[in-house]
Every structure is written in C-alpha cells, then in structure tokens.
Structure 1
C-alpha cells in the first residue's frame, strides 16, 4: 500500500496549495485510461479485483454436489461466453420476439397492420416474455412510504433510453444525434430500409422527447411528499378512464390468483403525468407508438445479440462516453452475470471470500463514526431543539451493517431459485428467462408484509447503510493496515453514508423509514441559509479539462456528505488514537499519523476520466469530479489545515469555511 500511495504522489506540489495534485499528481501524469473504460480510479481497481475473483469462481467446474443455484449461475456465464452459439442464433430469436409483438413497423413496412396494435397489449406481452413494461408508464411494487410494513402498487413516469435532459434538448443535442443514428443503424441491420428508418424513427424519437417533457426532472423528484399520492383503483379508473386500470395492473403484475379490487391503493408518483400521457398517446399514431416500443426492446437486448449489434452498441458508447474498444468478453459476461444473478453470485463469492473479521471491524467503525455524527447534531447551530430530538431518535435506529452481512443458507437459496429454469444454448432466451423470474419475484411481494428484520434486503429501502464487498480490499481497507489509513479511506465513505440520512432528502423519512418531514420550518430556513455558502463555493469551481462550471446546487447533498464524512471519520480516528500509542508509519511516508489520515482519504480518489465522461458529469451528475471532491472538502476543514500547518493565505486554507455540520 505504501508504495502505491508514494507512486501516486507528486512531492513537488505543496499540499497546502493543491492537495489533490500532491496525493495524485503522478497518478494523473502516468496513468492512461484503458481503451475499454471511460474512467480509471481506485474504485475501478477494487471492482476489477472483485471481477477477477468472480471470474475464477464462475469458471470453476461444477461438481455433482454443488448447489443448484450455483450451477445455474455458472451455466448462465457459460452461455454468455459461448459466442459460437450466439452467432449461430444470429437474429433469429430477436426476430421471433418482434413477431410475437406484431412486428417492428419500420421493418415490416406496408405489411404492418395498425389495427392489431394496442400499447397496453404490447406491454402485457413484453412483461410475459421478460422485458420491461416501463417504456410509457412505470408500474412498480414499492414499500408504502406511510406504512413501511406494507407494499403498494405505484405508477410513475416512463424510463428513458438516454438521459432525460438530453432528450429535452432535442435533435441538436450531440447525445441525441448519436442515439438517433444508433436507432437507425440497428433497424437497418434487422432489415429496415434506411431511408424509411430515418423518417420513421425520427418520429418515434420525437415521442420519447415528448415523454421526457411531461416527466419530472431529478430535482423536481427530490420532494417525496409531492410524489406520494395514494388513490384507490376505483378512483384511478374514474379520473383516468382511457385505460382499464384493473386489467392493466392485473396483467402487468401477472401473479397467479391475484385479483385487483376497487379498494386497492395505488400510489401515483406524478398524477399530471397520467393526464399528459393520455393526451400524448391520443395524438400519436399507433405506428409511431409501436416503432418506439420495439426500439426500446432492441436497445435493451443489443448487448446480448451477435457481434455486429454489439459492435454498433460500442460505437454508441464510444461517442457518448469515449470508450475506445469493447471490454474483454469475460468482463462483459461477469458483469452481465452480476446484473442477472446477484443473489446466487454474491453468496457464492462470500462463501469463498469470507470477510467476517473485516465486517466486524467495519461495523465497529460505523458505531464510532455514527456516535461522532450525533455529537455534530448536538453542536449544530442551525438545527433547533425540536428537530434535534427527532434526529437523535433517527440516529438511534440507524441500521449499521455491511452489504449482505448475512449469507443465505442452502435452503433459502434453493427456495429462492426454485422456479427458475432456462435454456443454456440460447443466451438471449436465458437472459429473458432470468428477467421474467426476477420480475415475478419482485411483483409477487405485493401482498407480503415487510418484516423489519428483512428490510435491509429490499431494494426499495429509502437508505441502506451498506458497505460494498469491494471496499474490503485494495486502497480502502485492510485489517492489517494502520487505522489512520482505514478511517481515512473507508471511514470517510461510512461518514458520507451516515450524513445522507440527515440531509435534505433523508430528512423526509423518520426512524421507521416512513415518510415524515421531521424538520421544523425554522430548521428548513436555517439550512437554506447555511448551505448557500456551500453552493457558492462549488459554483465557483471549473472542470478545467472541459472548461465547464460545476453546478453547486445540483451537487449540494453530495458535497455536504463529502465534507462531513471526512470530518466525522477524522474525529472518530483521533478519538480512538488518543488513548493508544502512536501507530507505526508506512515505509517511505514520513508524515504524522494525522497527516496520513488525510493522505489516505485523498489518495483513494485518484481518478482519471475521459473528457466525454467529464462533460456528462458537469451536465448531469449529482457529485463533482474527484479532484474537486478532495479540494472542496479539505478546504472546508480546519483540522486538515492545522495538521499540515497551512497558512491562512494558502489555497487550501484561505477564505471562509463553509460549515454545515
């Protein structure tokens, strides 16, 4: 570890002038972004290490005694690696699927018959095959935000093929242009006339743009109260009569024996979206609707089809993200296996790579860092006493645990996968079988209560205090490493996670994870005032590589969590170190233990991006690039300046400190 930190550092840089360049300067000079990536970082390195470990597990020969779920996951990986079978299948399977949906009009031409098409029927068929049915409206099963022991049906805006903001920008947007060309090329590969595809798919893209315009932006979706609009099925039917909602809910959920009653509750996330969608579909031809839906089917499957379509997908990603070549086949297949077989694969991984001691140590760190955060709440000047009492209650119920802290036993795993079968010689069919299985598993929870002890397993939780398995290694954590290093790296991540429980989004949920705005109006106003400093500070930062300004408002929650996460991790470490002899220093690093805390914290952020990706970060991401995360955080922490003896005239210690916690 010491050699890696040293190799990344540029010791010619004054740490009080540019701490990121001091810790990561040589990394930035000497580390190229791999051709098949758009970013290289410590996080990517940890991910690669886990991918390699997973590859080795997946390529181990199955034994007769091996658990069926582990055989299934290995067979899925094999079917992905079997390019001979994928090429032999060519476009046969996807064309059969399109045919079952009454065809893709842009390919069928005049043979396509509009009278056979109904968007709702298309969604029923897609759901029955295994595809998403969220291309026009998203029906989901979520934990009831007013009663977290129950689940309810929700209706939300559609999922989009590319970022909503790009779509709203229209055809002049470069990403939209790449997306449009991708659509046309895929249609042509499947047999469409190119001239016809250019015309027809422009219309279907306009439909997606209109869907984006009637949807809410991420910032509008921040206020959960506005997105919690419960309504009975009967009232839903009366207010939005153009759709038979009982039938739609029944067929999308597709649960044997499930009946929808007039009294069942549906949570409308954005009620106006339903009105606008009805109007939009009324004025959009069936041909345009069908072209759009079929395109979305292809968009979700090109990575599972033949090399020609996979290469075209790579071209799109190259234009948008800057990737220069496709990932190794094994990387693609391990990634696809993670996405589709997480429960089985994660349990296989944990049985081979036990991190029990690391988990215990990290859980102890959680407790120490959480206690220091409570002290920050007590000292907070902008939070009034009434709000503080609610904060103490919430902090007492914080679920400290590491990701999948408890493995599934054999019986639970076997039961979980008991209904899954797939054909290994047809990769796309295997993928769809798994998607269908996962959808069935998710939707059938609608009538099942949410047991409190099982809530950490549910993907619908508002917040999860989980630490990914990849952070148990690499630059983040080691049980054999000094605590200044562990607290600086993984400790600051833990502090970051804890801060989010109490930020402008986390404040909307109480200790039971139920919708409850526990901040008083006085506290809300005081928070706005105190955070103006943070917004202004980050608004002044420029992402130099692409000459674009950072958006301090959009990145506000992440920026506060970065600063506070470091602060509470530092307080936890120095509190721990007070009653102990000084820890040994790492060879070649002649810095104090406290200085090593900051170096460890910053060095894990050594990151290099492609410019295309930096542009997307500037436009859309809720957090800044790594260099600004380090600079912004440390320049607000007097503890850092004191440990490095930075003068008040130095870049890292001048001006007003923006302190929230």
Structure 2
C-alpha cells in the first residue's frame, strides 16, 4: 500500500492555491467535464473541490527526500489488521473486491506491505473533510483526463491549453506520433521483435557483453581499492557485483514468433474503436497484474519494451537492463572506435552498475532483498562521502530558472554518474593496453583520451522549456544535462589530466567529491 499518483506532481500541488499551474489544472478538469456534457456551473464547482482535495492529499504524502531510506517502506501488516491502521477506510473490502474479479480470495492472514503507514493513517481524516461526491469525482476526473485526451479535436485543444501553461508546450504532438506511441504501448512485443531484427545484430550484443564484463571487473578493482571500506563489507559488495543479472538488448526467451502470438492470443481489439480498445487493454493489463499474486516472480520476465531508448538497474532483482533502443548510433555501435563506445555507452553501463551501490541500491543485497550488509562504520563512511556530493549539488544554482539543485534527491544519480565515468575510463585504458592505440578521428586535433570524454559530453543533449525544467528540479532525481556533465567532469582527475585543466580552474576544482 502506498500513496497513489495525483493529477499533478506532489510538489506542484503544494504551491499556493492561486498558482498559475494549479489554476490551469482546475480549468483543464472543468473544461473536460463540460466537453463531456456536464453543465459549466456544476463542472467548475466540482473541479475546484477536486483540486482542493488533491492539495490536501499532497500535503500528507511523504516527502521525496524521506523515501530514499527504503527500510521505512517495510511495514508488514496482516489483512485482518489493515483496517485498524486506516480508521474509517474499508481498504480490506476494496482489495477483496478487486481480487474477486480474477477469482482470488484474500485470506485474513494475507500479508500486506504498507509503505508509509503515516499516510494511510492520515488519509481517513482528510477524506472525512470532503463529500462523497468530491471523492467520487476525484476518480472520475482521473479516469476522464487519461482516457479521452486523444479523442475529439475539442478535447485535444483543452489538453493543449493546459500543457501550454504547465509544460511550456507550443503545439500538440503530430497525430502520427500519437498513434505510433499508442500502438507501441499496446503491441510492444511484436514491434520490438521487428526492431531487433533490423537494428540490433548479434555482433552488437556480443560486443556489449564484453564491455559489461570489463566494466564489472573495473568496479571490482575500485571496491578492492576502497580504503574506507572494511573487509566484511567488501565481501558483501563483491557478492552483489558477482550476482548481478543482465537483460541485454532483447529477451533470450519467449521472443519467437510463436511466443509473441501466444502472448497476444487473448488480446481483443475492435476495428475503428480506439476508446474501447484502450479500455480493453487497460483491463487486460490490470487482470494480468492481479493474477500475479502469489505467483513466483520470473527472473526472465521483461517489463520494458526492447525498442525503447532506455537502460536501468532494478535493486529488487539485482538486475542490469540495457534495451536495444539505446544500443544504437550515435551512442553505440560495434563498428565504432573503443573510445567512442566506452565514452558513451560504457559510461551508461558503469552508471547502472554503480546504482547497485548508491544510497538506495546499496540497501539491497545480492538477491535483491532489503537487508543491511554494511557495518555501521562503513555505512557512516559512505554517508560522509555522499554528503560531499549532496553539499556540492545543494550549492549549485540552475541559472536558467534561478533554482538551487536538491542535493539529497540528486545524490543517487550523481554517485552513479561519477562512478560510471571512472569505471568506463579505467576499462578503456585497459582496453588500449590489450589492443593497442586506435586511430584518431580526422579533422579533430584531439587525443584518444580527449575523444573519450567528448563522447561522454555528448551523452545528454537536451533543451528544456522553463516550466518543465522547474518541474524536473522540484521532483526529479537527475541533474539538467549541463550540470550533470560538468559536475562529473569537474570531479574527475582523469578528465583534468586529459584536457590539461589547471588545478583550481572551473573544470578542475581543488576539492573533488565521489563515493566510488
């Protein structure tokens, strides 16, 4: 049990009531209801009440900073005792009603994990201050805005007006792109199979496996060299690193045509009926999720479409994921020079490996269990090193919007960025020793090491509108690209040496911070 997503980000809803984004959201709800034949007077009143309710719900949600300690999430309670922590909310009835739809009976001793009991406890008192109509409308508006925005021209214009205020959007996505996105979400297995056949040859996967092997060896050496860690904690770190599983490019199992046909055999689609197809797809996904209760988790199950441009690390499975969509030029190719591949994709690989040992990932053991394998002294040494990063980020102002970075929420990504850069550069150096120095790129008067860091600098090319940038800074864990790249390089002695940056200069400050 946890807090549900609201119509806006928690941080946005906690702004003043007359904030332009909140008022645009209220108008968005009202105009959507009016377009669906509600009277203006009633729709505007209902929308106002729902926004008031969402603001109250946002105020009792746990701050993101507090969510980084995952031990606070582990609060088991039996189904029989669940209502005792939720006062007048009959959560048990709601759960049983949901699972009844898939013929699963919940026993009284069924164990529930309550992520944040204080939120559940406060929820009842908040809801008691609002009418049943407003609570029902919260669900109704939530359903409406997620289901109908892609239908009529009028509804799309209402959504666009909202996005212009809140997200700085100037025009809606091309209809073709919208349709591709929806089709991709509905039929990702079939689409991914065709993408992989055309865009990700076996040679690329073989090269990737070697890169990961080299990066993991380098991280092993970094752990060995860590003078701030005791032998006891290093044993746990080595075990976790050795146990990391890998999902590379695409699934090795259940990816044949017959497997894909079986996956979709119960998917019903109606010709020329987009809305009902979306409803059917949602219900099918929901039933599949409910049926998974008490089923053993599959270590071979892919949860992300291989054609997506993405990579990740899942601490619950101790799993590295690199999708075929990200393993493409200009970031990666088995035909590229090693300094390009290691400066680009190599850093991404190192980044994800390091996530297993950042402030959140390090709370999980080699089997993905939330278990402390650190000595208290070593954990404190980790915190001290992380605090240096937190302080650096907290003293960095994003000049584009004049907002200071949140050092606590960005520490994990920063730890991973700096660790990944270090691991990949060291792995590249060993590659050069084994294979020899590569030819330089024509027309560029840069050394191989400089080209490595140049490839890294081109990893994150982005430009944000101010409203979106403000939203990302308030709720996100990543730094904007400019600060992300410069921050990693400023804290890299290898970069300073490669580009001959004088000690004390902007790109080579005297004080440097890293965990790994």
Q: What TM-score does the superposition give when structure 1 sets the normalisation length?
A: 0.73
Aligned pairs (5 A) from 1:600-611:
600-611=455-466
Structure 2 CA distance for aligned equivalents of residues 244 and 259 of structure 1:
17
Aligned pairs (5 A) from 1:210-249:
210-240=56-86, 242-249=88-95
Q: CA deviation at 1:384?
A: 2.3
Q: CA deviation at 1:188?
A: 2.2
Q: Which of 431, 443, 456 is equivalent to 2:290?
A: 443
Which residue pairs with 1:428 in the alignment? Answer: 275
Q: Which of 316, 320, 323 is equivalent to 1:465?
A: 320
Residues 1:530 and 2:385 aligned together: yes
Q: Which of 364, 369, 377 is equivalent to 1:514?
A: 369
Which residue pairs with 1:409 in the alignment? Answer: 256
Structure 2 CA distance for aligned equivalents of residues 224 and 549 of structure 1:
25
Residues 1:268 and 2:114 aligned together: yes
Structure 1 CA distance for aligned equivalents of residues 103 and 302 of structure 2:
28
Q: 1:414 to 1:470 in 2, by over 3 A?
A: closer
Q: CA deviation at 1:542?
A: 2.0
Q: CA deviation at 1:456?
A: 5.6
Structure 2 CA distance for aligned equivalents of residues 618 and 239 of structure 1:
34
Residues 1:197 and 2:197 aligned together: no
Which whole-Å deviations, capped at 9, do the CAs of 1:477-522 have from their partners, x for residues lacking one?
0111101000000100111111110111011211111111222211
Q: CA deviation at 1:308?
A: 1.0
Q: CA deviation at 1:604?
A: 2.4
Q: CA deviation at 1:458?
A: 8.6
Which residue pairs with 2:144 in the alignment? Answer: 298
Residues 1:379 and 2:219 aligned together: no
Q: Which of 587, 590, 614 is equivalent to 2:442?
A: 587
What is the number of residues matched between the two proteins? Answer: 506
* SS of alignment partner, residue 504 of structure 1: coil
* SS of alignment partner, residue 609 of structure 1: coil
Q: 1:600 to 1:548 in 2, by over 3 A?
A: same
Structure 2 CA distance for aligned equivalents of residues 256 and 654 of structure 1:
60
* SS of alignment partner, residue 266 of structure 1: strand
Which residue pairs with 1:167 in the alignment? Answer: 13
Which of the pair has the greater relative contact order for Cα pairs under 8 Å at 6+ separation? 1
Aligned pairs (5 A) from 1:7-86:
none
Which residue pairs with 2:26 in the alignment? Answer: 180
Which residue pairs with 1:15 in the alignment? Answer: none
Which whole-Å deviations, capped at 9, do the CAs of 1:271-324 have from their partners, x for residues lacking one?
222222222223321111122221111111133321111121122122122121
Give me the CA root mean square deviation.
2.1
Which whole-Å deviations, capped at 9, do the CAs of 1:211-231 have from their partners, x for residues lacking one?
112221222222222111122
Q: CA deviation at 1:529?
A: 1.6
> What runs of 5+ residues in structure 1 fail to find an aligned partner?
1-154
Q: CA deviation at 1:598?
A: 0.5
Once structures 1 and 2 are overlaid, which stretch shifts more, 433-442 or 543-552? 543-552
Structure 1 CA distance for aligned equivalents of residues 467 and 120 of structure 2:
35
Q: What TM-score does the superposition give when structure 2 sets the normalisation length?
A: 0.93
Residues 1:634 and 2:489 aligned together: yes
Q: CA deviation at 1:578?
A: 1.0
Which residue pairs with 2:245 in the alignment? Answer: 399
Structure 2 CA distance for aligned equivalents of residues 419 and 608 of structure 1:
42
* SS of alignment partner, residue 586 of structure 1: coil
Structure 1 CA distance for aligned equivalents of residues 427 and 17 of structure 2:
51
Q: Is the 8 A contact 1:367 1:400 kept in 2?
A: no
Structure 2 CA distance for aligned equivalents of residues 394 and 519 of structure 1:
12
Q: Which of 467, 473, 490 is equivalent to 1:618?
A: 473
Q: CA deviation at 1:240?
A: 4.2
Which whole-Å deviations, capped at 9, do the CAs of 1:192-243 have from their partners, x for residues lacking one?
3334333332111111111112221222222222111122222224554645
